């Protein structure tokens, strides 16, 4: 690669070293990041923390003597204050033809890649293809770029045509202005902010958006602008609300029946019990079932093997229906396999009904039939 090509790579810090870590060449991004001038010919040890010297020596030795290719290696930086919250992930390998060490560094936030002002053109190209309302705002909240979706949303909700250079304040709903500027200023301080909010636009109940503020940095780490993104998640939130309502109605329905119902995972751990099941277990075992409890805690030990075999049978796809006597009480058990959308068994559902009175009534009928037969 020529130095011209390397100098125009602005998303990576690139340099070449001799075997003693003297910097033979560094590209423009490297110089900007470490604030060094065009004529700098220093040593790589000068840009990393003193505590990292032994690590760098080992890297250089591995690369030069053993021809190893070192990747994904992070070295702490010398200027901790200026590079606070940043890290550089390095790659080192030997350029055999010149016996030089080639170094590539990718700058990122702790756990996040940085948005570079130098790469705004590429960023704009990417944002234009998304379905998010994305707007790049200057430090004084002027519009520097907006995606197609942002243009359409502003026109839809505000009846205006957004333009570069606009003061974005006019597109902020008055009741949300304080919140917007609080989050915008947090992003200018270097933090990435995101949250969900119901915005009073569109239908009478408003529209839900996922909002994100991301700082955009220059190659030397300073924040130049903020990427503001808003994604319409109204359909998702309405679906979540419907599911919540369905869960409420389903729970109400289950809690209103006399049958004790418990839902268990494949390891027979409690996922859900209705009110009748909780009351029955409290009565029989002196405690309420909790999510994550082993369902086997709620069977008598002398019949544990019997119930275990029934559960295992249900987990293999067979529904088990049987009666069980507990002293003077008679209970009907129904154990069903539970399937997911792929028809894979993911657990069991246990239904228990008190049929003591029904069995007593059956016995009376049997006795009456016997008595009538004797009379005949």
Each residue's pLDDT tens digit, 171-219: 998 889 999 999 999 988 888 888 888 888 777 778 888 888 988 876 5
pLDDT at position 1, please?
A: 45
- pLDDT (average), residues 112-131: 52
pLDDT at 300 over 80: yes
Cα 305 to chain centroid, rounded: 41
pLDDT at position 334, please?
A: 92
pLDDT at 254 over 70: no
State the pLDDT confidence band at 106, using cuts at 50, 70 and 90.
confident
More confident residue, 92 or 245: 92
pLDDT at 94 over 90: no
Q: What letter would DSSP give residue 48?
A: B
Contacts 24+ apart (CB under 8 A), 351-359: 351/259, 351/260, 351/261, 352/259, 352/260, 352/261, 352/262, 352/277, 352/280, 353/258, 353/259, 353/260, 354/258, 354/329, 354/330, 355/323, 355/330, 355/331, 356/328, 356/329, 356/330, 356/331, 358/330, 359/330
Give the residue from 100, 135, 129, 109 showing the smallest Cα distance to 16: 100
Residues 257, 246: Cα–Cα separation, whole Å:
17
Give the residue from 175, 193, 176 showing the smallest Cα distance to 184: 193
Asked whether the beta carbons of 78 and 49 are under 8 A apart, the reply is: yes
pLDDT at position 113, please?
A: 42
pLDDT at position 111, please?
A: 41
Asked whether the beta carbons of 361 and 280 are under 8 A apart, the reply is: no
More confident residue, 281 or 374: 281
Residues 250, 194: Cα–Cα separation, whole Å:
33
Residues 246, 341: Cα–Cα separation, whole Å:
18
pLDDT at 5 over 50: yes
Mean pLDDT of the chain: 82
pLDDT at position 114, please?
A: 46
Residues 85, 191: Cα–Cα separation, whole Å:
10
State the pLDDT confidence band at 54, using cuts at 50, 70 and 90.
confident
pLDDT at position 239, please?
A: 67
Percent of the chain with pLDDT over 70: 82
What are the backbone dihedrals phi and psi of residue 295, each rounded to the nearest 5 degrees, phi first?
A: -65, -20
Coil/strand/helix, residue 323: strand
Percent of the chain with pLDDT over 90: 19
Q: Which of 33-42, 110-119, 144-153, 276-285 has the lowest mean pLDDT?
A: 110-119
pLDDT at 49 over 80: yes
pLDDT at 112 over 50: no
pLDDT at 116 over 60: no
Each residue's pLDDT tens digit, 308-353: 999 999 999 999 999 888 888 889 999 999 988 778 899 999 999 8
**Residues in contact with 6: Cβ distance below 8 Å, sequence separation at least 6, in sequence order:** 14, 25, 27
- pLDDT (average), residues 27-38: 83
Each residue's pLDDT tens digit, 219-235: 556 788 899 988 888 87
Q: Which helix (H) or strand (E) is 127 found in, with range?
A: helix 120-128
State the pLDDT confidence band at 269, using cuts at 50, 70 and 90.
very high
More confident residue, 218 or 302: 302
């Amino acid at each position: 690669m020529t130095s011209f090509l390397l100098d125009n790579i602005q998303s990576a810090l690139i340099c070449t070293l001799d075997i003693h870590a003297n910097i033979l060449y560094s590209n423009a991004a490297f110089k900007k990041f470490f604030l060094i001038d065009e004529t700098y010919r220093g040593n790589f040890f000068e840009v990393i923390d003193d505590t990292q010297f032994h690590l760098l020596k080992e890297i250089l030795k591995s690369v030069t003597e053993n021809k190893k290719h070192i990747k994904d290696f992070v070295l702490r930086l010398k200027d901790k204050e200026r590079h606070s919250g940043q890290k550089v992930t390095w790659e080192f390998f030997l350029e055999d033809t010149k016996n030089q060490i080639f170094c590539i560094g990718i700058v990122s936030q702790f756990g996040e890649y940085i948005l570079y002002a130098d790469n705004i053109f590429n960023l704009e190209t990417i944002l234009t293809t998304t379905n998010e309302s994305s707007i790049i705002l200057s430090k004084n909240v002027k519009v520097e770029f907006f995606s197609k979706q942002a243009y359409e949303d502003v026109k839809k909700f505000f009846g205006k045509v957004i333009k570069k250079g606009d003061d974005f304040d006019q597109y902020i709903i008055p009741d949300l202005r304080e919140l917007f500027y609080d989050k915008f200023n947090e992003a200018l301080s270097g933090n990435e902010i995101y949250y969900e909010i119901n915005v009073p636009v569109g239908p009478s109940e408003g529209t839900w958006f996922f909002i994100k503020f991301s700082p955009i940095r220059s190659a030397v780490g300073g924040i130049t602008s903020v990427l503001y993104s808003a994604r319409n998640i109204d359909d998702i939130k309405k679906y979540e609300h419907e599911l919540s309502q369905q869960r409420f109605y389903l729970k109400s329905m289950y809690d209103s029946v006399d049958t004790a119902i418990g839902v268990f995972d494949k390891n027979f751990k409690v996922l859900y019990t209705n009110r009748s099941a909780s009351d029955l277990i409290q009565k029989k075992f002196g405690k309420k079932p909790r999510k994550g409890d082993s369902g086997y805690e709620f069977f008598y030990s002398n019949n544990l093997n019997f119930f275990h075999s029934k559960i295992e049978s249900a987990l293999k796809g067979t529904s088990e229906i049987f009666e069980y006597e507990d002293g003077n009480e008679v209970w009907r058990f129904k154990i069903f396999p539970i399937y997911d959308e792929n028809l894979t068994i993911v657990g069991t559902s246990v239904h228990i009904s008190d049929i003591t009175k029904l069995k007593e009534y059956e016995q009376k009928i049997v006795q009456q039939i016997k008595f009538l037969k004797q009379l005949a």
